[in-house]
Amino acid sequence: MAKKIKYSLMLMPALVLLTLAFCFRQTQPDDARLSQIIVETLEESHYEPKAVDDNFSKKLFHLYLKRLDGDKRFFLKQDIDSLMAYYMLLDDQAKEGTYGYFDRVNNMHIRRLNQIESWYKDILSRPFDFNQKEYFDFNEDSAEYLATEAELMEFWRKSSKQQVLEKLARKIDAQEKAQTRKDTFLKVKPYDTLEAESRREVLKTQNDWFNRLKKFDRKDRLNIYINCITEMFDPHTNYFPPQDKENFDIRMRGSLEGIGAQLQEKDGFLKVAAIVPGSPSYKQGQLKAGDIILKVAQGNAEPVDVTNMKIDDAIQLIRGKKGTEVRLTVKKPDESIVIIPIIRDVVVMEDGFAKSAIIEVKGKKYGYINLPTFYADMNNRNGRSCAKDVMMEVQKLKQDNVKGIILDLRNNGGGSLGDVVDMGGLFIDKGPISLVKSRGSASEHLDDENSGVLWSGPLTIMVNENSASASEILAAAMQDYKRAVIIGTPTYGKGTVQRFYELDNMFERSGSDQLGSVKVTIQKFYRITGTTTQLVGVTPDIILPDRYRYLEFGEKDNEFALGADKIEQASYKITMDYSKDIQEAKEKSAKRVAANPLFNEIEAMAKKIEAQTKKSRFTLNLDEYRTEMKQQEVDNKRYEEMIKGIQAYTFYNTTADNKNIGADETKARVKKDWNKTYEKDIYIQEAVNVLRDID
């Protein structure tokens, strides 16, 4: 079969699609081909294709159930038993493009959802007795489904009671504190009133959840099922329906054509959460945070009611080509209704781009660069990219004569493979940045071939457990070249490369709907030493305490992750060896961290969080719960007081940024707020201390 393929290389963590549906359509011809073409593509293109056989079927059987009901709060054991006829057939159905199991599970799920909706409404209609010595046993990793409807109803009773208990305890606590302060505006409410309010709030939360589920259709469920098939190959091989692919591209390039309003769903309405500074909405001036969008019209066309519409569908109506008009019928907080016309334009999401600041400590200046993701415009070679932006930020900092630079890659999940190579070249003369290996081929070098170094001074790179993929390539390369001090916590551990294949270009469709794309793992990448970051991540030179360091999180905890291996190392030359300085910095940092009460508190908190995640028995007694809550409050207050006591470092703009901002008050305010965000970040402060050690 001839295939016309469009692709782009990506280094991204897995995307989890957790959407549910209620309404079904009959399987369309293109749906039937969808699983077939995806299986064929994966068998042909995946780095390490899996045999689509009976063993595949067994795992897919359980994986889809886990996606729909991971907590085992909907299905019963008898439901699962009734599905066992499909246990060994799902491989055949995937290759044939049939969905017997998928449809059977979904219909069963819908029946249980409707049944449980009536249960929780009845449960929450009556007061709870919180004086009983009662406990809710819950372990989301439990292998067993409940046996009877009575047991399932009891599960929902206790789950609902626990949610009400948490709200009730907070209300009682807040009222008691107000009484202690002798708050003259306090209207003391009796216990029964507080309990009834708590039940109503939980009921609303549950109703909102179930109402959201009802807005999803069969295609949403099919997306989950198809992604279960792709995930069987590895966690980063994913199916993207057209709208998801569009959103992915927007995140990668950091811009879109629209109005610049951040929206959220609230009580069935589309609510404006924030306005992007400098956007069409911001410039037009009438649309504000807190407004509710009731209708959307394309210019003079008939408006479309977006009340109770899926938020993704409503957003598609609001987005549009630059220069076109959208008219929003909006309800203001004062209940007035207005029609707001806005001309769409390119909206740049500056929050996602690299930014820098200068940190001044004891008369010396150090540079700080924050890089949220390895972004690039995959459809425009001359478009904005993170490597170009980081290069500009380094140049700005050099012009202000900083003594060292911090590159912050915390929570950076990856992105463009080409940009990480170019970025590495800013800090070394030339040479390999990473090695990549394709299926059945020898490894290849990804080299920085440009002679010269933009920044040869002290460098620290900050990472954490959410630093993945491209972040790990850069951190590993700078570590192997002895070029930078890596500081933070061990990274995620993703050592694979993905490529997009557009399904609509791969075969003729019988329907009008677009099929979307599939992101396929086609390579593994390696450190220049030949070792891997897959599963193991990058271990920092300086490991700092972190609240989440003991949680099971990372590539190694993914069931279908590819394995770790080793290949022959590359030939590379170390020209700026900071190894002696790094060793001295490690020793000095260890002493500082050990003497820092806040880092000690964070370490203690990390152990408590680990214990909390392993907890499987929860009290439903008000007095016991309040005792637990008060202890947590003491711990939290101690931590908050320590944060308040941190001596803020001075962050200010580069000279170049100040010139660019000029008299623009909006830009000045946004950048000032951004700088302030990091003034008391003790991890950045320790990174500055490390720069001072190696300066």
Cβ atoms of 491 and 463 within 8 Å: the answer is yes
In this prediction, residues 368-372 reach a mean pLDDT of 97
CA-CA distance, 8 to 500, in Å (whole number)?
6
pLDDT attached to residue 303: 92
pLDDT attached to residue 18: 26
pLDDT attached to residue 23: 30
pLDDT attached to residue 508: 63
3-state secondary structure labels for all residues of 331-355: ECCCCCEEEEEEECEEEECHHHCCE
455: left (phi over 0), alpha (psi -120 to 50) or beta: beta
- As a whole number, the mean pLDDT across the chain is 90
| pLDDT at 365 > cutoff 90 | yes
| Residue range(s) of every CATH 2.30.42.10 domain in the chain | 255-348
Residue 322's contacts (CB-CB under 8 Å, 6 or more residues apart) are: 257, 344, 345, 346
The rounded Cα 158 to chain-centroid distance in angstroms is 30
Q: Burial, 486: exposed, middle or buried (Cβ in 10 Å; 0-12, 13-18, 19+)?
A: buried
pLDDT attached to residue 501: 94
In CATH, which superfamily holds the domain spanning 255-348?
Answer: PDZ domain (2.30.42.10)
Q: Burial, 212: exposed, middle or buried (Cβ in 10 Å; 0-12, 13-18, 19+)?
A: middle
Q: How confident is the model over 542-568, as pLDDT tens digits?
A: 999 999 888 888 999 999 999 999 999
Please state the length of the chain. Answer: 695
**Confidence band for 32, pLDDT divided at 50, 70 and 90:** confident
Tell me whether strands 255-258 and 405-408 are parallel, antiparallel or unpaired. Answer: unpaired
Three-state secondary structure call for residue 615: coil
Q: How confident is the model over 33-72, as pLDDT tens digits?
A: 899 999 999 999 999 999 999 999 999 999 999 999 999 9
**Confidence band for 612, pLDDT divided at 50, 70 and 90:** confident
- Alpha helix segments (H runs only) across 279-402: 280-284, 311-318, 386-399
Three-state secondary structure call for residue 268: coil
Query: For residues 536-553, b (16+ Cβ closer than 10 Å) or e, as one string?
Result: bbbebbbbbbbbebbeee
* pTM (two decimals): 0.89
Q: How confident is the model over 91-149, as pLDDT tens digits?
A: 999 999 999 999 999 999 999 999 999 999 999 999 999 999 999 998 877 778 999 99
Tokens matching residue 274: 């924030």
| Residue range(s) of every CATH 3.90.226.10 domain in the chain | 353-614+646-694
In the block, residue with structure tokens 């630079």: 405
Lowest model confidence (mean pLDDT) among 402-416, 502-516, 568-582, 619-633: 502-516
Lowest model confidence (mean pLDDT) among 141-150, 469-478, 480-489, 592-601: 141-150
pLDDT attached to residue 198: 97
Give the sign of the dihedral formed by CA 563, CA 564, CA 570, CA 572.
positive
Tell me whether strands 355-361 and 364-370 are parallel, antiparallel or unpaired. Answer: antiparallel
pLDDT attached to residue 666: 85
| pLDDT at 432 > cutoff 60 | yes
**Confidence band for 28, pLDDT divided at 50, 70 and 90:** low
**Confidence band for 84, pLDDT divided at 50, 70 and 90:** very high
Tokens matching residue 687: 């990174």
| pLDDT at 8 > cutoff 50 | no
Lowest model confidence (mean pLDDT) among 319-333, 369-383, 500-514, 563-577: 500-514
Q: How confident is the model over 205-239, as pLDDT tens digits?
A: 999 888 887 777 888 999 999 999 999 999 999 99
Task: Quote the DSSP letter at residue 125.
Answer: T
Tokens matching residue 176: 């008691």
In this prediction, residues 432-440 reach a mean pLDDT of 96
Q: Fill in the amino acid letter for 367.
A: G
CA-CA distance, 208 to 214, in Å (whole number)?
10
The full DSSP string for 226-258 is HHHHHHTT-TT-EEE-HHHHHHHHHHHHTEEEE
Task: Quote the DSSP letter at residue 191.
Answer: H
The full DSSP string for 495-551 is -EEEEEEEGGGTS--SSSS---EEEEEEEEEE-TTS-B-TTT----SEE---TTTTS
Q: How confident is the model over 14-23, as pLDDT tens digits?
A: 332 222 222 3
- Please give the CATH number for the structural domain made up of 353-614+646-694: 3.90.226.10
In this prediction, residues 499-504 reach a mean pLDDT of 91
The full DSSP string for 665-684 is HHHHHHHHHHHHHTTT-HHH
Picking from 370, 368, 477, the residue whose alpha carbon sits closest to that of residue 424 is 477
pLDDT attached to residue 507: 64
